[in-house]
Structure 1
Amino acid sequence: MQLPDSLQPWSQWLEWFAPDHLPLFADLLGRLNPLLGPLRGRQQGGVPEPDGLGDLQRRGPYERLLSSEWLLAEEVPDEFLRRAAVGEHMFLAPQYRAREANRLMVVLFDAGPLQLGAARLVHLALLILLARRAAEAGAELRWGILQREPALYELGAASNLKQLLNARTYEAVSEQHGQAWRDWMAEQPQTVGECWLVGQRLPEAVPACCTHRAHVQRSLDGQSLLFELRAGGTRQVKLPMPDERQALQLLKGRFEGEAAEAPVINAQVPRVALTLPPVISGAGNYVALRLLDQPGMAVIKLPSPNQKKPLSVRTQLWSSYQHALAVTFLSRELGAVLSSEEALAFWNIPGLAPVKKPSREQLLLPPGTATFLPAAWLRNPNAERVYLLDSQGRLAYWESDRAKALDRSKPRQTHELASGVLGLARVDQFTLAYVRNAGGRLFAQSAAADEARTESYALSVAEGVSQVLFAGNSLWRRHFGGCALLTSKSGNESWQVITPKTVPVIKEYIDLASGWKAIGLLLDVGKDQPSLLLVNAGQRAIGLYSNGQQKLLFTTSDVISRYSFCPMSGLLAVLTSSRELLVYHVASGDLRLQVTCDKEPEHTKEGGDA
C-alpha cells in the first residue's frame, strides 16, 4: 500500500489498516506527535565497541603500527630505533562506539468506561507513535492494561492492537490497580526508560518509573476530545470526533476492511450448487440459491440485526424433468422460468400458463443449467409480466392471465420486445431497465408490467462496449436512471459512467486497477455521485471505487465461486468455494448474513415448500 509522505514514518504499523482508515490516523498522528516531546532515559552505557578506524596517533600497541614504519625498520634500522626512543612512530587508532544500554518503554492503558468510544482510537494512535519512538531509540515497547493483573505485551502485529481494543472493561481504574502495577514494576529486572499512563482519572499510586501521564476525555459539548500530556510541563490539544462509520469499524477490530460481523444465529442450509449465482429479492429480504442435490431452490430470509431465533430457510422444488432458465423474485415470492423438451413453464408464478417452447430463431435458450439468464418479474394493478433476455441479446416477455387487456381465447405465446440488448436489470419495484444496440449506437430504455415504456435515451456508440451495469432508483419509471458501460483499455477494465443529470454526456471515465473488475453500480442520486462495486482477479476481495479512490470492503478466506449484486436493495451476495454464503449491504458496510450451506439432503415433496 502506497502511503502519503506525511504517514511514511509510521508505515510499518499503518500497513495493518485498510486505505480508507488512513485519513483518520493521519489526523490523529499529526496532532499528537508534536506533543510527545524529547525522549527521556536515553543514556549511553555498556562496554564500548570498535567501529572501524578513527585516526593516527603516536602511541599504541605495535600490532597497530603503520606498515610504512615496518619498512623503515628493514631499510634503516637505526632510524627505526631512534624514532621508537623519542616516540615518533605512528599507530592506527580505532574508532569506538558507545553501546546504548538496553531500555524498556512501557505504556499502561485505562480500558474502563471513561475511555469507551473515540478515546480508544486515541489509544491506538498513541501506541503507534510510541512504537516508532521506541524503535528510533533502540528500545523495546511493551504495553499493559491498568485494570488487569500486571502483564506486558508486545506490538508486533495488528492482532496486538485488536487485543488492546478487546480489553475494554466496565471497571474504573482504582488505587489498588495502581499499587499492584507499582509493586510489580519494582520487581522487574529490566530498566525502564519511559513509563506512560493513558486514561482518565488515573490513580495517584503509580509505578515509580512513571514519566508521562496522558489524559483523554470528551469535551463538555461532546463534539471533540481533549488530550492532555503531563511530563515536566503540561501540553494540550483538541482532537475532532472521528467519522462514526469508520470509528465503529475500527473499534470492532475491522482494520483490514473485513465485513462487519453477521448476527450469530442457528442455521441449517441445504447443500447448494457452486455453479449458479445467488438470487436476491428487490426489497433485500430474501436470498435464494440453487440446491445441489435436488431440483429447486433454498430460500433464506435474511435475519434482523438482533434476531435470536433460528434462520428461516425454505426448500422449494420443481419437477426433476425440468431445468431452470431464470429465477427471480417478486417481493417475497420466488418464481422461475422452467424448460422441458417442448414447453416453457412458469413455476410459482400464478396466472402464467405454460407456453410452447419457442424456436432457436425466436429465443436461444441454454440446454442445461450452466447459468441463469437475466430476468425480471413485474406486476402492477393492471398487468403482470415476466421478462427474459436470451444469450443472443433478444428480450422476450410473457403476460399473465390477470392482464385486463389479454384475450384469453388466444393461445399463450412468447412476445419479443427488443433485439440487440446488451443487458437488463430490475431497477425499481415496477420497472426494469435495458440497453440495446440500434444502428451502431446504444440506447437506454425501461419497461413495466404493461405497455408503458420510457423514451429511448442515446448513450454512446456501441463499438467496443461489452457490458452494462445499471443503477437502481425510481427515476427509471419516467426517465433515465443511470448506467455504466464497459470497454477495455490495455487489458484493464475502463468504464463510462452516465448519470441522470448528464445523459447523454459521459459523467466520468473510470480506469480500474489491474486485476479488478466491476460487478455493480451504485448511484447517490441527490449528489449525482456514482460508485463501482469491484471484485479482484483472485476472487477473494471485494472493493469499492468512489470519488476517484478505491478501497477494500472485505476479503474472504476461500475463493468466491459466484456473486450477485442487486441494484435495488444494494445487497451483494457471494458464495465461496467452501459453500459459505455472505450477504453484504454495501451502503452501510454491514454483513447481513454469513452461513455455510452444507446440510445433507433430506427427502422432500416435489412442487412446493419442504
Structure 2
Amino acid sequence: MQLPETLTPWRAWLDWFDPELAVIVGGLLLRLHPLLGAFRLRAHDGRAEPEGVDDLRRRGNYDRLLLSEWALADAAPEEFDRRAAGGEHLFLNPKLVAREVDALTVAVFDCGPSQLGAMRLVHAAMWILLAQRAQAAKARFAWGVAHKPGELHAADSPEQLRRLFASRTFEPDCAAGDAQAAAAALPPRERLEREWVSALDRADPSPGERWSIGLHTPGYGLGHRVDVLRAGADELSVTIASRQARRETRLRLPAPDWSALLLQGQFDRTQQVSVQARTQGSGVLSLRHPPLISFEARHIAVAWAKESAANVYPVPRPSQDKIKLSVPKTTRWSKSKTLRAATLNGRHFAGLVVLPGHVEFWQMSVLLRAPRQKDDRVESPTAEGRWWPSVLLDGSGQAQRLFVLAPDGRLLAWTRGPGHRGRRSDLAVPQKIGRYPIEFCTVAEHVHALAQSSPGEVFYLRHSDGYLELQAIGFGGDRPIERVAVQGAVNAAFVNARTYGNHWAGGFCVERSVGGHGGERSSVWRVFVRPLRRDQSDAPQASEYEAVLPSDWKVVGLGSEQQGEQYLIALRPDRRTLMRVGAKHRSTLYQASAPIVQVAVAAGTDLIALIDQQGRLVVVHERNPRVLVLEGANHAG
C-alpha cells in the first residue's frame, strides 16, 4: 500500500486497514499528533553505573590511573611527582550507563454512551498515536476501559483495536467499588478515575505516563486528559491538556459509510473463500477472457485455461453475515468447437460457434443452427481470440434473440420465435429451421458499447456524423433514447443503464485522446449522467462532466451511486489498484495483491468481477465493503 511520507511513522498500524480506510485514519493521526506535546516518559531509573571505558582524562581518582603511570612511579619517582604536580597524569574515564527499566504508558478510554459513535474515531487515533510513541521510546503501551479499573490489555494487533471498539457500554455510569471514593460522595466518573489512579500506583511497574480519554473529569488525576465533544453535525472538538499545556482543534468527520466500517471493526474488507472448482480437468481460470456477469448480477462465468469449459459461480448477497458459497457449475463444450461469442443468461452459459458453412447457437433452447449469410462477415475464431460481447434475450412464446458486437463496430442479431416483429428492410432471407425461421440482421454500425437494460431489451451506443446516439432494441425495431453532439473520434465507450417502465436511469461515457506537452498523451472521458425521475424539480437533474486521465490508466467500465451519480472504474498503471473516478473526487475501490488481468463491470448494478494474475476470481461490490476472493482448486498462489 502506498502512503504519503508524512504517515511513515504509523505505517505498521495503517497496514491493518484497507487503502481507503488507511487514508481516513492517517488524516486523523496527522491532525492529532502535533497536539500530544513532548514525550516525557523516561525509560531509566535514574541510577548510572560504569560500563567500560569512555575515554582518557587528566583528572580522576587514582584508583583509575593508567598502569603505565604507576610504572613510571617505580622507574622515575621524581618524574612521577612532577607529572602529578603539573596535572599531566592520565586517568581512565568510565562510561556511565543508566539502567533501563520497564517503562510503561497507559491510556484509559471511556466507552460509555457519551463517547459512542464518531467520538470513538478519536479514541482509535489516540490508541495508534500512543502505541507508536511508546514503541519509538522503547517503552510499552497498554490500555484499559474506564468501567473496568485495573484491567489492562496489550496494543500489538488489529484484534486489540477491535476489542477497544467492542468494549462500548450503554450504562450511563458504572459503579465504582472504591469505598473511600464512595464515602466522599464523588461523581461516578471521578470515582472511576480514582480507582484507576489507585490501581496504577500499585502496579509494578507503575506507568510513568497516564492518559484519560473521554472521561471529562476535572483536574489531571491521570496526568493527561483528552476531551472529545460534538461540535456540529460533521465536526468534533478535541482538547488535549495536561498541567503544562492545553491544545485544542476541530476535526471534520469522514463519510458515514467509512466511519461505520471503522466502528464495526471492518478494517480489512477482503474475505477469502476457497472453493472446489471441478472434479476432473485443470480448473485453472483463463486470463484471456473477462468474466461474464448475468443481468441480475447473481451469477458469474469464467472460462478455463486451455480447455473447452467454463465455471458458473453463484454470487452470494453481500449483506449476508456468513458467506455460504456453492460449488460452481462446470459447463463443457466440444474441443472441436471454438466460441466466437459467449453470454450468461441467468445461470446458463451459452455461446456462438462459427463454422465454415453455418453458425451454431450452443446451449440456446430456441436458436439452434442456421446457415451462414453472405453479409454476416463473422469469421471463424482462433483459439487465441477473445469472445465478442453478446446478450441473449428470451421473449414470450419461446422467442430468442442474440445480439453480438463485432470488433469492427457492427451490432449483429439472430432472432427466432413467433413474436418477432423485425424491420423487414434489415432482415436477410429467413432460414427455415423447424417451425419458425432464424432471421439475421445487422442492427447498426459504428457501435462502441452494448449492455442489457431490462429482461427484454438492450441499449447500444453508436457514434456517427458527429453525434453520439443511445438506442434501445428488443424484439422489435430500434427505439431512440438520447442523442448528443460529440465531435472527433471516439476510442471507447461504456453504457450503464436500466429501464423502469417508461423511464430509464444511468449514464454512458466516451473516450477521446488528446495530445500533451513533450509527446505525452492523456485521455479525456466525457460522462453523461441521467438520474431517475430527472424530470421532477426536486430530483437530481441530468448532467455531464469530463475526467482527464493519464494515457497509462485503463478505464474498464462505468459505475453508479445509489443517488444516481456516475463514475469511471479504472485501473492504475500498477494494475493492482482499482479506482473510482467521479466528477469531484477519486477513491480506491480495491487494492489487489497481484496484478489484475481482466475486469468486468455489471451494468446497472454495483458488482465488479476481476481475474488477477494468480488466476483468482475477485468479486467487488462498489457499495458494500465486502470483497470475495474465490480461489480455484489448483490455485498455486
| TM-score normalised over the length of structure 1 | 0.70
Q: 1:226-241 alignment to 2 at 5 Å?
A: 226-227=237-238, 231-232=242-243, 238-241=250-253
Cα offsets for 1:531-562 (capped at 9, x unmatched): 3332775x765444557986543345777675
Counterparts of 2:3 and 2:311, CA distance in 1: 46
Give the unaligned 5+ runs of structure 1: 600-610
Taking a change above 3 Å as real, the CA distance of residues 228 and 295 of structure 1, as seen in their structure-2 partners, is closer
SS in structure 2 opposite 1:122?
helix
Q: Does 1:245 align with 2:260?
A: no
Structure 2 match to 1:602 = none
Superposition CA RMSD, Å? 5.7
Cα offsets for 1:398-447 (capped at 9, x unmatched): 234433245698334543456676x53317444433567x9xx9985544
What is the identity, as a one-letter code, of the residue corresponding to 1:354? R
Q: Does 1:280 align with 2:308?
A: no
What is the identity, as a one-letter code, of the residue corresponding to 2:176? E
Counterparts of 2:325 and 2:60, CA distance in 1: 88
- The answer to whether the 8 Å contact 1:324/1:369 transfers is no
What is the identity, as a one-letter code, of the residue corresponding to 2:341? A
Counterparts of 1:470 and 1:138, CA distance in 2: 55
Taking a change above 3 Å as real, the CA distance of residues 350 and 142 of structure 1, as seen in their structure-2 partners, is same
Q: 2:590 aligns with which of 531, 538, 554?
A: 554
Counterparts of 1:492 and 1:166, CA distance in 2: 51
Offset, 1:126: 0.6
Counterparts of 1:2 and 1:557, CA distance in 2: 13
- The answer to whether the 8 Å contact 1:457/1:480 transfers is no
Taking a change above 3 Å as real, the CA distance of residues 426 and 141 of structure 1, as seen in their structure-2 partners, is same
- The answer to whether the 8 Å contact 2:318/2:624 transfers is no
Counterparts of 1:452 and 1:188, CA distance in 2: 79
Offset, 1:251: 2.7
Q: Does 1:415 align with 2:451?
A: no
Residues 186-195 or 164-173, more deviating: 164-173
- The answer to whether the 8 Å contact 1:270/1:298 transfers is no
Cα offsets for 1:190-228 (capped at 9, x unmatched): 242012233448899xxx994334454556x76544545
Q: 1:203-352 alignment to 2 at 5 Å?
A: 210-216=222-228, 218=230, 223-227=234-238, 231-232=242-243, 238-255=250-267, 258-259=269-270, 274-275=285-286, 276-289=289-302, 298=312, 300=314, 302-303=316-317, 305-306=319-320, 324-328=339-343, 332=346, 336-339=350-353, 341=355, 342-346=357-361, 352=367
- The answer to whether the 8 Å contact 1:147/1:173 transfers is yes
Taking a change above 3 Å as real, the CA distance of residues 319 and 98 of structure 1, as seen in their structure-2 partners, is closer
Q: 2:414 aligns with which of 387, 398, 415?
A: 398
SS in structure 1 opposite 2:47?
coil
Offset, 1:143: 2.6
Taking a change above 3 Å as real, the CA distance of residues 143 and 433 of structure 1, as seen in their structure-2 partners, is same
Structure 2 match to 1:448 = 472
What is the identity, as a one-letter code, of the residue corresponding to 2:450? A
Taking a change above 3 Å as real, the CA distance of residues 291 and 166 of structure 1, as seen in their structure-2 partners, is farther
Offset, 1:77: 7.0
Structure 2 match to 1:470 = 494
Counterparts of 1:593 and 1:82, CA distance in 2: 87
Percent of pairs with identical residues: 24
Counterparts of 2:590 and 2:23, CA distance in 1: 19
| TM-score normalised over the length of structure 2 | 0.67
Q: Does 1:484 align with 2:483?
A: no
Cα offsets for 1:82-130 (capped at 9, x unmatched): 5324243164785966637532112233445554432322111112222
Give the unaligned 5+ runs of structure 2: 179-191, 432-437, 530-543
Q: Does 1:198 align with 2:240?
A: no
Q: How many residues align?
A: 571
Structure 2 match to 1:175 = 176
Taking a change above 3 Å as real, the CA distance of residues 529 and 555 of structure 1, as seen in their structure-2 partners, is closer
Offset, 1:580: 6.1
Structure 2 match to 1:519 = 556
Q: 1:363 aligns with which of 378, 385, 393?
A: 378
- The answer to whether the 8 Å contact 1:110/1:199 transfers is yes
Offset, 1:452: 4.4
- The answer to whether the 8 Å contact 2:616/2:632 transfers is yes
What is the identity, as a one-letter code, of the residue corresponding to 2:524? Q
Taking a change above 3 Å as real, the CA distance of residues 82 and 594 of structure 1, as seen in their structure-2 partners, is closer
Offset, 1:298: 3.2
Residues 270-279 or 395-404, more deviating: 270-279
Structure 2 match to 1:424 = 449
SS in structure 1 opposite 2:46?
coil
Counterparts of 1:479 and 1:251, CA distance in 2: 32
What is the identity, as a one-letter code, of the residue corresponding to 1:364? E
- The answer to whether the 8 Å contact 2:285/2:304 transfers is no
Cα offsets for 1:232-284 (capped at 9, x unmatched): 4877655443321221232344446x34x69x9x9998676612543223454
